[in-house]
Structure 1
């Protein structure tokens, strides 16, 4: 049989697929409240049908699914160890101690601002949004619940702070990857990102401060806080040395030790603390790594907050990750992003359109590729040539691709970051999305810079400079020529 010739999807096919994608996600999640797993599987078969239509074999499409999943295995392994960390740290009293001290020191009116700043500092120090949410973020969620604040609002402050450092810290893998892809010096990229990150932090900080006063003015029953403090001390051994494992983990992350090893070691410390300081027997303590922590105190605050963690709690998240990564592999194989590159390149004529195109392309990496690292690749590869054509410095490229990719990554429910944040914080992505103010403000600032021309740097005519150098070289060579004897 004659093999069918493979060709790229036509624009109308692309728009039909995107429309079906949105329709499936909307009706599955918003209308019928079906598990996102089923929606992702349905989209798989839409893309498989398109792939076969344009000439791909089913075997090649299936291989692309496996390839996509393989590229994200490291993230899946990290999620497994985050589950062990949460279970053991609750059992060891680390998380309860964090919440205990937080309830004593932070006033409800400034709690949201404090959450933003604490998570921002943690993410800068560790270079990881996931590590920040899995440690400081969990504690702040518990404190916020005790204060009676809406949990989606608290989660918004955690996410805002976590991604402030993730896209700015020189030890963040996404920051390093962005600078590398855009061919920009790391420190120059960080300085460029500060122009967006710092104003976004200030503006979102004001918003969280106002929100904190608004909810405080509506009345906070501090007797509930006192009761929760007493319940924590009654059910857990609470002391300063309970925080040693957290300090150790943060230092290890700052030293650049791989996240999986750091989380595994932190989980072991949690088990040791559970046995030594919380009086738990060895087998039960080890069991929290898989089944999570279980307590029946009779206090709703304690039982609802601390009955969680373990690998078992992450199995649903892992399934979503696998399906989402497979979707990303299909997207790449079918050529969706290639077609988008061609379409956008015809539209980009100035800095404003270039900025919005880069952000949009990076967002599509999260939306269709379901992974933060994919967003950086799409943001770069789809528009990088246009920066050179318009003679715009690549520092603007790196800034825009990380803004569009990393800031939107926790805002897509089926992307790896959105899945992780929802699982760890216990709040759905769509619930905290309206309150991820630093992320949303950062996007607005980037677009403002693009269309206003602020902080848009232009390069010299590189080609012209090369030609001048070549002419000078020719002249020098003629002057130094010696007659042949």
Structure 2
């Protein structure tokens, strides 16, 4: 009887995963799963209507500050893409001269920086794919290595960017400060970036690729009209960035990015960092001529608020309510007991939290759905199963947040049926119709995904994370499992 009851409590997750995997919009799937959880909680736990409503709304209330951060993050992403901040990053990188041997690593580094600046992996990939794929074509580089490299680089900002929705949401669910979380993993994240860049360049050398130099203008001029049309339909902001790259923008337009990063390092609140990024991009963009007027810039900001509110925030509210109801009926208790049973110490427990994140990502085929569905499970596993000081428990929650976003965005790069891969293949096919791209091709050459996912799990399990500044987990017996 207890088994049947426990199974019934997990049915909403199975239904949610099934609906998303069959292609249903998450904004429809989440309410259906929430309603089902509501009914099952009423039947199995005899919870009243008001008790369940309170559980759902209390869960959503915890995300309010996250909603504000997301709105400003989307607004700043729009501003950076439109005022020339993104284009200046690309042009600075390309000014050093790119060859077939360096085009993949250059695209990787440019997309990494641009994704931090704009907070969007999808927008970064859509903006940079036309430039680097056609530049690769002109130079005679390896198309799969270049495509996979910019795919991996575009996710870097989603792993560590202050304005990335995945970073903000994963931190919010685990109740950890975004800045503190970013600082804890910055050495490890940058280390993965450097190691990946070296490997990508090494592969290019091993392929014995040519060393003739070309430029971005030639690559953009080579983009066929049908590719421009397809890109306009999928990512309109990318068109503006491509045009700015072609005509050029002042290099000082990169300063808003450095200002935001500098303020974050200085410890200023995330909302302050975002506000300063918006203001500086407006002032410098006005001086550079990339901002038409205050009214036009305010429209960019409004569009960013609308974009966040039309999908991400609404989706998070439904998933927040879903998680609140699931937690109220202790739906995750059987899973928690299983993981606790097979874990001999806290470090193994954290490793299994990482595996849960990857498994949820593969099942749901959407990194944000994984973050808001699996996030509460791994949060509860730590809070209810581990003894430790408040500071040590916070360190574990920070690692959970890292699992959620890192194994969400980079894990998606290793899952052929993930929505990320579908988006990438769609963009690649549209902007470079000369090659038939397959998901497995992108996976094979995505060095950054293998390095990041592999290192995170191995470092967590072995304890070697203690060798990385601010990244190590607390040792036993400072923390220990509540086995008994």
TM bracket, shorter-chain basis: 0.5 to 0.7
- 1:329 has 2:328 as partner: no
2:270 alignment partner, one of 238, 248, 259: 259
1:411: how far off? 5.7
SS of residue in 2 equivalent to 1:246: helix
Residue segments in structure 2 that go unaligned for 5+ positions in a row: 134-142, 163-167, 223-241, 362-367, 413-417, 429-437, 467-473
Residues 199-210 of structure 1: matches in 2 within 5 Å?
Answer: 200-201=192-193, 204-205=196-197, 208-209=200-201
1:21: how far off? 2.9
Classify 1:179/1:444 alpha carbon distance in 2 versus 1 (closer, same or farther; 3 Å).
farther
2:218 alignment partner, one of 215, 220, 226: 226
- 1:288 has 2:306 as partner: no
How far apart, in 1, do the equivalents of 2:148 and 2:33 lie? Answer: 28
Q: Which residue pairs with 2:140 in the alignment? A: none
Contact 1:164 1:201 in 2 (8 A): no
Classify 1:276/1:227 alpha carbon distance in 2 versus 1 (closer, same or farther; 3 Å).
same
For residues 121-152 of structure 1, give each alpha carbon's deviation from its aligned partner in whole angstroms, at most 9, with x where no partner exists. x69xxxxxx85552899667634430116766
Q: Which residue pairs with 1:146 in the alignment? A: 131
Q: Which residue pairs with 1:410 in the alignment? A: 409
Contact 1:47 1:330 in 2 (8 A): yes
Residues 146-225 of structure 1: matches in 2 within 5 Å?
Answer: 146-148=131-133, 153-160=149-156, 163=159, 200-201=192-193, 204-205=196-197, 208-209=200-201, 222=214, 225=217
Classify 1:448/1:313 alpha carbon distance in 2 versus 1 (closer, same or farther; 3 Å).
closer
How far apart, in 1, do the equivalents of 2:341 and 2:348 lie? Answer: 11
How far apart, in 2, do the equivalents of 1:48 and 1:441 lie? Answer: 41
Classify 1:244/1:420 alpha carbon distance in 2 versus 1 (closer, same or farther; 3 Å).
farther
Classify 1:383/1:142 alpha carbon distance in 2 versus 1 (closer, same or farther; 3 Å).
same
Classify 1:286/1:163 alpha carbon distance in 2 versus 1 (closer, same or farther; 3 Å).
closer
How far apart, in 2, do the equivalents of 1:118 and 1:372 lie? Answer: 31
Contact 1:88 1:288 in 2 (8 A): yes
What TM-score does the superposition give when structure 1 sets the normalisation length?
0.63
1:37: how far off? 1.1
For residues 45-101 of structure 1, give each alpha carbon's deviation from its aligned partner in whole angstroms, at most 9, with x where no partner exists. 221121111112233222322222222222222222123223333443222222222
For residues 376-401 of structure 1, give each alpha carbon's deviation from its aligned partner in whole angstroms, at most 9, with x where no partner exists. 6235235535x99xxxx999967964
Q: Which residue pairs with 2:43 in the alignment? A: 53
Q: Which residue pairs with 1:66 in the alignment? A: 57
1:436: how far off? 6.7
How far apart, in 2, do the equivalents of 1:287 and 1:461 lie? Answer: 52
How far apart, in 1, do the equivalents of 2:57 and 2:478 lie? Answer: 44
- 1:338 has 2:333 as partner: yes
1:266: how far off? 2.0
Classify 1:286/1:68 alpha carbon distance in 2 versus 1 (closer, same or farther; 3 Å).
same
Q: Which residue pairs with 2:31 in the alignment? A: 41
How far apart, in 1, do the equivalents of 2:395 and 2:306 lie? Answer: 43
Contact 2:30 2:322 in 1 (8 A): yes
Contact 2:78 2:301 in 1 (8 A): yes
How far apart, in 1, do the equivalents of 2:460 and 2:251 lie? Answer: 48
How far apart, in 2, do the equivalents of 1:461 and 1:237 lie? Answer: 55
How far apart, in 1, do the equivalents of 2:216 and 2:50 lie? Answer: 59
How far apart, in 1, do the equivalents of 2:54 and 2:357 lie? Answer: 25
Q: Which residue pairs with 2:305 in the alignment? A: 311
Contact 1:345 1:383 in 2 (8 A): yes
Contact 1:372 1:409 in 2 (8 A): no
Q: Which residue pairs with 2:239 in the alignment? A: none
How far apart, in 2, do the equivalents of 1:61 and 1:402 lie? Answer: 26
Contact 2:101 2:205 in 1 (8 A): yes
Residues 56-95 of structure 1: matches in 2 within 5 Å?
Answer: 56-95=47-86
How far apart, in 2, do the equivalents of 1:224 and 1:359 lie? Answer: 40
Aligned pair count reads 404
Q: Root-mean-square deviation (CA), in Å?
A: 5.3
Contact 2:93 2:106 in 1 (8 A): no
Contact 1:328 1:368 in 2 (8 A): no
How far apart, in 2, do the equivalents of 1:240 and 1:15 lie? Answer: 53
Residues 231-246 of structure 1: matches in 2 within 5 Å?
Answer: 232=243, 238-246=249-257
Q: Which residue pairs with 2:165 in the alignment? A: none
Contact 2:383 2:393 in 1 (8 A): no
How far apart, in 1, do the equivalents of 2:191 and 2:256 lie? Answer: 34
Classify 1:50/1:76 alpha carbon distance in 2 versus 1 (closer, same or farther; 3 Å).
same
SS of residue in 2 equivalent to 1:335: coil
Contact 2:10 2:331 in 1 (8 A): no
1:269: how far off? 2.8
SS of residue in 2 equivalent to 1:336: coil
Q: Which has the larger radius of gyration?
A: 1
Classify 1:246/1:453 alpha carbon distance in 2 versus 1 (closer, same or farther; 3 Å).
closer
SS of residue in 1 equivalent to 2:332: helix
